[in-house]
Structure 1
Amino acid sequence: MAAGGSDLQSPKKRKREQVEGKTKPRPQVKGGGDGVKRKKHSGAGGYAAHGGGAGEAAAKKKRPATPKEKRLAAKEISEARKMKRKRHYSLEKELTKLWEKMRCHDVSKEERSKLVSEAIRKMDGKYLDIVGSHVTARVLQTCVKWCSQSERDAIFDNLQPHLLSLSRKKYAVFLVKKLIELATKKQFASFISSLHGQVAKLLPHTIGAAVVDYAFQRATQPQKRQLLLELYSTELQLFKDLTVQSSCSLLETISKLGLQKSSVLQYMTIEIQKILEKGTVEYSIVHTAILEYFTIADKTSALDVIRQLIPLLTQGASIIDGDEPSLATELPKKTKAKMKRLSEPLIVQIMHTKEGLKLAISCLKYGSAKDRKKIIKSLKGHIMKLALNDFGCLFLISIISIVDDTKLVSKIVIQELAKNLKQLILDKNGRRPLLQLLHPLCSRYLSPADLACLSYNVPSLSSREGEASDSATEVISENKVDAVTDKIVSESKKDPSQRRHELLIKSELAEVMLVPI
């Protein structure tokens, strides 16, 4: 057992005994390593003497030593992986080279036309395979922009059966938008027709909703109604002939088609709830649908939608409010500008349409005092952008006329206006909030359409019975200004003259206005 135990000694123990002189060291074979083991594994004595050294030399040669060799080796491995993973990787590299040339500003029209035609020829028959890649999707989008009409028609005809599926893909959605933008009237009508029965499914989709809204903005009035009617009831989603209508409101559609108001309300509640859960509320088609919903909704349903809207419209202002000051100072200018756009709350972004303004005013009017405070705080850093906007200035007028917390309004709104007084006075929209404090709701600086937007009320939430639900088309003359004032002020508790005094005098805005510019 003693001999057996000595044969089974571990290498560490043998090495320790060799150092202490208890055992004799084993003879080493030329070439390094354990000669016995090398002979056993190789099966030939010559390999131990010569082949071992050659193998180590080959291994050292393949292993990259310098940083440049390491980068090249990593690049080769990455290229090999991409070749296995991507079916059209070689085609993608060829298209990228053509794309870098065709998108240059200094390239001639003839040269660009040749490059575009060559790229389209290489992509012909493979559009669906390559449109999912972020690189080739951009190449195809550029080709659609610069190609001839016949080439564009061929691409549209090839992709038309698949446009709805492409509308849900991250990179292909930009190609679909470009095709919609440059489509002929016939092609656009066919795309609107293909959306039938899919509008309610696409609007809760974070990517697909952008395509539907893009088509909605470019559509004619009958086509807009065709898209909207699918959100009203299942019957209108199933039967296409019922959606072919001229411009009319939801109430007129219900009476004209003999629909049950309760079933329409139930269906719209479900569809709008899906949109609110997904948060896709920045689109004008959604604003129009919610405003139509308000015309038939009861008090509970309307308040529920408004309470869910306010957090969605006010989110995204953390960086502007100074929550991350150290990070903002270290970033470059372009990155800071991009983060500022991303941190811009939706309530500022939706001010490019009348429907977005009405939705924001309804949230301001019928929200609680806490909700109004949240809305005003989200506007910090964006007051000037609103003041210079056609509809944003009207929203500031609503804030000045409705919100009772004049201390908060002075801190966020009035102080920002006072800092940029000269720019505001010289701008046709910028001077409107200042004139509102001096001469409220004067028809000299507010058109009848502007007064109608400011007096917008949700019928079920209005404090007065019998008020019109849709005041966008209402023509308001000078003798109706008092009625409009009552509609606006009815949602606040403070006396209008006291509010104006606090915003104009106590905030020291009047003193700043009296100083010569």
Structure 2
Amino acid sequence: MFCFLVESKMVVMEKTKTKKFSPKFEEAPPKKVKKMKKNTDVEDNSSKKKKIKGEEGEKKKKLKFNDNVDVKEIKGEWKKKKEMKEEKKKTGKVNFDGKNPKSKFKEPVELLNKKETREKQKKVKETRKKFKQEDVFDIGVQAKKVWEEVRREDCPESKKESLVNQLHSLVKGNIKKIIFAHDTVRVVECLMALGSSDIRDKLFLELKDDILEMAKSKYAHFFVQKMLRYGSKDQKNQIVKVVEGQIAKLMKNKTAGHVIEIIYNDIASAPQRNSMLQEFLDHGFIHFKEPELRTVPEIIAKYPLRKADCIQNLQRNVEVLIRKGAFNHSLVHTVIYNYLLVADNKQRAETIEQLREALVHMAHSREGAYTALNCLWHGTTKDRKAIIKSFKTFMLKTAQEEYGHMVLMGIFDCVDDTKFVGKAVISELTENMEEMMTNKYCVRVLKYLFSGRSPTYVNKDMITILEKVILLNVYPLHVLVPGVWGVIN
């Protein structure tokens, strides 16, 4: 028992020891001590500040000013404001200096006539041009004087030859500096049009390295057009070679597109046209072309693995061309037509929605008319109505065109809303029946209205084109309304 009590006491003692010295039960230092420390710090700081102030005060007392120093009075802003208010009360106007504008001395203004102001503007323009073109300005002035004599109709041919030679001698060596200006480019165009073969060769040699830059220029691209018109065969072929590989880029440019349109329509052969179309496809066709293949479906049939890349690049180029509004070029018509032949239903619907109001500008060419027919066949009823409305006031003109009349025949063939077709198309055509009867293409339209697809009155090639509608599950108008008399009534 005794041993047990001793052990219990020892355990109790150990517990009390742990309670006394454990960190949980440590007593915190008194807060008063901390406050005292803070107070002591504040007292030390205040004492230091007092000492510093005392030293500064002693220093300030030691400072002395010199009486000989000149002091200027500065006018305050409040005085300026006061003056401006007083002037407002008196005159009602205040100048930016705070003074009355009436009190300022003004120089007398010279009133000029219309002719005098025009002459003054010309002098200022000339001085500005001299500053910009110090080397070429005098040459340009002399060349324009000679050019004005040469281009006159009453100028004799003997004098004209000597003036052309004189003009070439003036311009020679500085044509690159002159050709990008709006006035001096006409001088170089005149040399290309009226000059001899030697002068044309010399001009071409001087400018053949800058053909791409000139084609993109606003004024110099007219000279490239003159070269394509008046140049020799070798010169034209060299221009075509320079342009190869850059056709897709140049067609996106507004000014360069006119140059490529002339190359495509007037100069390029059939295989060259096919190769120009292939540049809008995969990048591989820029360097390795297939001039025998005419259309994009033929190319895809030969290279089926490259189908996705070809359609993707073609879609990008078509979107840019539509966005920029390059609808007047026949090369663009061929590109869009080939894209519609290859595109998916969703992609085709998007392009038709973008093109439906611009087909009026495309119906004059063969591929443009084919694109319009595809838009009519594949488009919705809303698209067809929008296409017909866009041809308003142009129905007679399209009926008189070689390929445009096909679009009207397509409208009669696939649009099932006979009342709308009667009001929009036939009523406009019947207003000018005399002109319709005299033109051969208009007569074809009238024959189709009465006879339908009978081969006695309609061309077989046109019937084969219109028969594509049945494959697209679009019912033609002559099937819905036999005799077409319901349309006219």
Fold shared, TM-score > 0.5 on shorter chain: yes
Q: Aligned partners of 1:381 and 1:129: how far apart in 2?
A: 47
Assess if the C-alpha contact under 8 Å between 1:64 and 1:73 holds in 2.
Answer: no
Change (3 A) 1:348 1:178: farther
Which of 172, 188, 200 is the aligned partner of 1:140?
188
Change (3 A) 1:254 1:10: closer
Assess if the C-alpha contact under 8 Å between 2:274 and 2:291 holds in 1.
Answer: yes
Q: Aligned partners of 1:134 and 1:491: how far apart in 2?
A: 56
What are structure 1's unaligned runs of at least 5 residues?
Answer: 15-32, 35-55, 314-346, 465-489, 507-517
The aligned counterpart of 2:126 is 79
Assess if the C-alpha contact under 8 Å between 2:448 and 2:457 holds in 1.
Answer: no
- The residue type paired with residue 502 of structure 1 is G
Which of 262, 269, 272 is the aligned partner of 1:223?
272
Deviation at 1:445, TM superposition (A): 4.4
Residues 227-269 of structure 1 show CA distances to partners (whole Å, capped at 9, x for unaligned) of: 12211211112x2xx2263353334334546752222222222
Q: Please show how residues 91-110 of structure 1 align to structure 2 within 5 Å.
A: 91-110=139-158
- The residue type paired with residue 214 of structure 2 is L
The aligned counterpart of 1:501 is 485
Deviation at 1:462, TM superposition (A): 5.2
- The residue type paired with residue 135 of structure 1 is D
The aligned counterpart of 2:385 is 373
The aligned counterpart of 2:402 is 390
- The residue type paired with residue 429 of structure 1 is Y
Deviation at 1:134, TM superposition (A): 1.6
Deviation at 1:90, TM superposition (A): 3.3
Q: Tell me whether 1:243 sits opposite 2:289 in the alignment.
A: yes
Assess if the C-alpha contact under 8 Å between 1:221 and 1:247 holds in 2.
Answer: no
Q: Please show how residues 23-422 of structure 1 align to structure 2 within 5 Å.
A: 64-67=110-113, 69-87=116-134, 88-218=136-266, 219-237=268-286, 239=287, 242-243=288-289, 245-256=291-302, 259-311=305-357, 313=358, 347-422=359-434
Q: Tell me whether 1:438 sits opposite 2:450 in the alignment.
A: yes
Assess if the C-alpha contact under 8 Å between 2:450 and 2:483 holds in 1.
Answer: no
Assess if the C-alpha contact under 8 Å between 2:364 and 2:403 holds in 1.
Answer: yes
Change (3 A) 1:160 1:244: farther
Q: Aligned partners of 1:164 and 1:220: how far apart in 2?
A: 21
The aligned counterpart of 2:463 is 451
Change (3 A) 1:111 1:408: farther
Of structures 1 and 2, the one scoring higher in RCO (CA 8 A, sep 6+) is 1
Secondary structure at the aligned position of 1:260 is classed as helix
Change (3 A) 1:266 1:129: same
Superposed CA RMSD in Å reads 3.4
Change (3 A) 1:350 1:70: closer
Deviation at 1:499, TM superposition (A): 8.1
Assess if the C-alpha contact under 8 Å between 2:211 and 2:224 holds in 1.
Answer: yes
Q: Aligned partners of 1:302 and 1:71: how far apart in 2?
A: 55
Secondary structure at the aligned position of 2:279 is classed as helix
- The residue type paired with residue 487 of structure 2 is L
Deviation at 1:183, TM superposition (A): 3.0
Deviation at 1:182, TM superposition (A): 2.5
The range that moved more, 196-205 or 65-74, is 65-74
Q: Tell me whether 1:424 sits opposite 2:420 in the alignment.
A: no
Change (3 A) 1:264 1:462: farther
Rg comparison, structure with higher value: 2
Change (3 A) 1:115 1:361: farther
Change (3 A) 1:355 1:72: closer
Q: Aligned partners of 1:381 and 1:258: how far apart in 2?
A: 45
- The residue type paired with residue 215 of structure 1 is I
What are structure 2's unaligned runs of at least 5 residues?
Answer: 1-73, 88-102
Q: Aligned partners of 2:244 and 2:485: how far apart in 1?
A: 54
The count of aligned residue pairs is: 394
Secondary structure at the aligned position of 1:429 is classed as helix
Secondary structure at the aligned position of 1:351 is classed as coil
Secondary structure at the aligned position of 1:361 is classed as helix
Assess if the C-alpha contact under 8 Å between 1:233 and 1:264 holds in 2.
Answer: yes
Secondary structure at the aligned position of 2:173 is classed as coil
- The residue type paired with residue 161 of structure 2 is S
Assess if the C-alpha contact under 8 Å between 1:132 and 1:169 holds in 2.
Answer: yes
Assess if the C-alpha contact under 8 Å between 2:372 and 2:407 holds in 1.
Answer: yes
Change (3 A) 1:258 1:493: closer
The aligned counterpart of 1:463 is 472
Q: Aligned partners of 1:111 and 1:452: how far apart in 2?
A: 61
Change (3 A) 1:117 1:385: farther
Q: Aligned partners of 2:255 and 2:472: how far apart in 1?
A: 39
Residues 277-298 of structure 1 show CA distances to partners (whole Å, capped at 9, x for unaligned) of: 3222332112212222333322
- The residue type paired with residue 375 of structure 2 is C
Deviation at 1:494, TM superposition (A): 8.7
Q: Aligned partners of 1:115 and 1:491: how far apart in 2?
A: 68
Change (3 A) 1:453 1:111: farther
Q: Aligned partners of 2:260 and 2:126: how far apart in 1?
A: 38
